[in-house]
Every structure is written in C-alpha cells, then in structure tokens.
Structure 1
C-alpha cells in the first residue's frame, strides 16, 4: 500500500462524527454517517454546521462531514471526466477508487484546476471546523464504516460499494470498490479529531503543490493517459 493509500485509509477511519461521551449523538450526525443519498447527507451537514458554534459534538460531526465531502468532490470530478487510475505513487491525489465512466465529459486544464481548488477549499473548511472543537470536549461514538460512504459516481446515491469500508478494502489492490465489505465498527474519541485535522492539512498541501504551479504543459502532454476519453490532446 502506498503512503497516500495508508493515510487515506486511516483518514476514512477517523473522519467520523462524534458525540459527547455518555450522551446521544446529535440526530443530524446519525443521519450524516448513515445517509443513503447525497441530498439526505447534505441536509444533515447543513444542520450540523449551523449548530457547530455552540455544540462541540455538532462541530466535530460537521468537520468530519466536510472532510468526507472533500473526498467526494475530488472523486466526483475525476469520475465526471473518465479518470483511469495509474496506480502510481507519483500521483498521490489520484489514488481514489473511481468507478468507470462510459460517457465522460471533456476536460480542460482550467476544469482540472477547478476540481483541485474545490477539493482544497473544502479541506480547509474541515480543518478549521475541527480546530474549533474544544480540547476538553467529551467525544465518543461507535460507527459502522459499511454504512458511511461518499457518492463516487455523482448519481446522488451512496451505495454499499461506496462505503468507507469498501473504499478502504479496494485501496491496496486498486480498481473500483465492491459491496462485499464486512461490518467494520469503531469507537472514536476527541483525540481522533486531531488526526483527522492533520490529514486534511496533509491533503491540502498535496493540492497546493499542484495549484502553486502552471502545469499546463504537463497537462497537455500527459493527462490523456489519465483521462483517455475526455477529448484531451494526444
């Protein structure tokens, strides 16, 4: 497993909404990590973001949800343009197990930069939200990673093969995930939030590395190998 895959696996484990120890999880947090549609998940996230300033549990859940949707922004953008993973350590941000897209949209250099900007901005928001959680907040929750997922193919659904458990299982072998992931339940506490915040900042740095440069020549000369049906120059 590559370094990025290892970090992403750990992040998927750690990016989960928490609740105050000994108290019930916010109802919106339960909806967030059990949602079966993007609309349901987004509605829960909006509610958590609104409650975050006055409720540490909601802030933690919102920060986790923002991290999760950052991954979804990247995966959805790659899928939209027919990305085919090179399984290369040279492109760590491009290791997400994106499903095949038989009808991809054309891709331009500016389109690709826009995907990275949206990904980076959402990670920045996640890191800030997680950083707002008080250090002494009592956090603790059990979560089944087979129920928590992201929409990898932009169909508005969060299917079993898009669960965190399925994604983690697919990372070492490459390729799209499948739905045959066993139940995987963990209990998380406040310390996990610091790790997740660190992962958000690590991935932000990866995106910033690309965005700090004009890589148009690289894009024009080689990205047809990553997006072979996106009408890129050969």
Structure 2
C-alpha cells in the first residue's frame, strides 16, 4: 500500500513538472497582449514568492526592455513629435500607427533631457534584472512575432504579425505568428549588453549641452517648442518642401548641421558611458561562454556551431573565434591599453587613447574630430590596435565576408 501511495505521489509530481515545463512563460501572456505594466507587476509578485525563478526574472527583464521604448514613445507623443507634420502624408498602414498628437504639450530642452533620462533609467533597470539571471539552464520561449508594443505612444500596441498583415504578404504574417524563439542564459547576456550599449549613447547625449541646438532647430522635430525664436515656427516645417527649395527650411537644416559642436553640461556622464561600454563587452564575452556550453538544439536565437538557429544562418567555429578576438581587442581599446591609429601625420607613430576621450572629456565637435585637431589632446605613443592591421581585417573579411561583418556584429552583439 505504501508503495502505491509513493507511486501516486511521484506520478503527481512528475505530471505537475511536465505541465509546468509545457506551459507558456508568464511573461509571454502579457507580452502578447501588450500589457507590459500589468506583466511587470505580476512577475514582480511571482518573484517575491519564488525569488529563485530565473525564467520569471528573464521575462521581467524582457518586459522592462520593451517598456523603455513604450515610455519613450509615449513621452515623444505627449510632447508633440512631428511625425506627419515633418513628412506629410504617410502610407495607409503607417498612418494608422504613426499618429501625431493633435494637442501636444509645449516642449522645452529640460523636457527632452528628462525624456532621455527616463529612457536611460528604464534601460538600467532592465539590465539590472537581466544581469541577475544566473541559472545556466534557464529557458524563456517566446512567440516574438506576437509580442505587442506601443512604440508610438498612441495606446495601440502592435505586433510584428500585425504589421506584416498590413504591409507584408499572408505568408509572412503566418510565419510571424509561428515564430518561436527559446531564449536561454546566453540571450540574457545578449539583451543586457544591448541595454548597456543604448545607455552609453543616452549618457553621452546627457553629457553635452544641446540647449542652443534645441533653441534653433527643435521646431523641426516637435510641434510646440519653448524657444526664444518663435518666428521659426511660422514657416514651413515639412521636409517634403525641400523639393521646392524652401529657403527658410534649408537654412534650418544648415543651422542644425552647423550646431554640431557641443560644450559639456555634465562631463562625469562620459565616464558612466564608458562603464556601460565596458559592461557591454563583458556581457558579450559571457554570452558566448554560455552559448558554447549548450548541448540542446531548440529554436536558438544565436546558435553555437553544433546548433541550428531560427534564422537559419550557420555559425561556424571560425566565426566564433574571430568574434571573440574582436571582443578581446575591443576590451583593450576601451581599457586604453591599445590606441586607435591617428589619421593625420606619419602613419603608425601615435594613436588616440579612446579611454581618455571618456575619462578626460572635452567639447565634442565631430567636424574637428574628422579633421584631427580635436583628437590632439588624446594622442599618445603606444601599441596601435590590431583593428588597424590588414591581418585582422583580412581575418574578419575571410570569416564573415566583406559586406556582412557589421550585420553579423549587430546580431552577435
């Protein structure tokens, strides 16, 4: 009798485990409904009850990542981002999605900085959550084509499946409906790395003082702008009018280009940006450690050489080895141990210490950087990065193809 009871108990536990394994993750329920706020709250409650549940934690990180773009889109909509006003009439399907706020707020430069700061804060929160995923066997299966996100602040979340139904073919729509990716531990690092990459750019934008550029050109991007030059909003702001050689509009665009010279408003943010880039590089190395340790082959986002990915792009060991060499070299450049070759003067005699660009920031002027004079404070004698050698680029081109490297880099992170 005791054996029968024990057998029933074991069977019950086994069936319960099988049901749990086959169930869709909690995150997918909310992602596919476009209810990100409710989903984040539900998963936080779940993690309070089961703090070891890394599937839930991974799902929360994904939701937080998408929330960062929802909040960004909502803020831009509320502040009157000029979508139709800038480009005129959009194609039918896009016009239903990219709507413009008919009664926006008047936006100031401080408002724009706050929008960027909120975006960075959201991404930092997502990165923190994703970095806390430790279970090497974690899985997060998601039908990514059905994930709904309100990217444009209209209160109407849309999915890739919906967009393809509007603008693609029926076959593409059906493929999007069935597109399943089983994200794993390495993918948590992949997404965390992208959070760091985006945060780095956000910190750079907040480091500089863009007040003058905003005063002179923000009317091209927002409907109502707090600027001392109110007359700028009286003329045409539709970019389609460039075809009619609209002189005021052309002068606005020239002013925008001319004002690409930024004093620093919060220079310490450049160091924060550097730390994000360093964290991104570490996540990229960590993700490949986990990818290479995998022995399964289930709807992989980025496969190892023994797996087949959902994108059906073959990843060879040579590609992995070359990419890891690229990551190592990137780390040495970020640490200041290797220099970027200087493009003026005698080749190979000195280079730019990229790390000092962030730790000892100065006024940012892209045109003077292109000329070379802005790089002068950071010139040093030392070891030039292998990125400057024909051997490294020959290896990269032979491995990835001359035109495919940057596409693969975007995918590989």
Q: Give the TM-score normalised by the residue count of structure 1.
A: 0.70
Match of 1:200 in 2: 195
Give the match for residue 126 of structure 1: 126
Structure 2 residue 185 is matched with structure 1 residue 186: no
Shift of 1:149: 1.9
Partner of 2:338: none
Q: What is aligned with 2:113?
A: 113
| Equivalent residue, structure 2, for 1:82 | 80
Q: Secondary structure at the match of 2:180?
A: strand
Offset of 1:157 from its aligned partner?
Answer: 3.7
- Give the CA deviation at 1:101: 2.5
Counterpart position of 2:217: 222
- For the pair 1:163 / 2:163, whether they are aligned, the reply is no
- Unaligned stretches of 5+ residues in structure 2: 1-19, 88-96, 233-413
How far residue 117 of structure 1 moved from its aligned partner, in angstroms, is 0.9
d(CA) in 2 for partners of 1:164, 1:125: 25
1:138 to 2:133 alignment: no
Tell me the CA shift for residue 58 of structure 1: 0.5
Q: CA RMSD in A?
A: 2.7
Q: Which residue of 1 aligns with 2:326?
A: none
8 Å contact 1:120–1:207 — kept in the other structure? yes
SS in structure 2 opposite 1:154?
coil
Map of 2:204 onto structure 1: 209
**d(CA) in 2 for partners of 1:202 and 1:104?**
31
Deviations 1:135-179 (A, max 9, x none): 51331414142x212223434442xxx324567x7xxxxxxxx84
Answer yes or no: is the 8 Å Cα contact 1:74–1:115 preserved in 2.
Answer: yes
CA shift for structure 1 position 61: 0.4
Question: What is the rounded CA distance, in whole Å, between the counterparts of 1:100 and 1:43 in structure 2?
Answer: 26
Distance 2:210 2:106 in 1: 18
- Largest Rg, 1 or 2: 2
The residue aligned with 1:151 is 150
Conservation of the 8 A alpha-carbon contact between 2:28 and 2:143: no
In structure 1, list runs of 5 or more residues that go unmatched. Answer: 1-20, 88-96, 170-177
Q: 1:106, 1:231 within 8 Å by CA — same for their partners in 2? A: yes
Q: Partners in 2 of 1:69 and 1:164 — Cα distance?
A: 16
The match for 2:99 is: 99
Distance 2:57 2:136 in 1: 14
TM norm structure 2: 0.41
**Alpha-carbon contact 1:75-1:152 (below 8 Å) kept:** yes
Corresponding residue SS for 1:54: coil
Q: Which residue of 1 aligns with 2:38?
A: 43
Distance in 2, matches of 1:75 and 1:179, equals 21
Larger helix proportion of the pair? 2
Cα 1:138–1:164 shift into 2, 3 Å: same
Paired residues, number:
187
Larger RCO (CA within 8 A; separation ≥ 6): 1
CA distance in 2, matches of 1:219, 1:209: 16
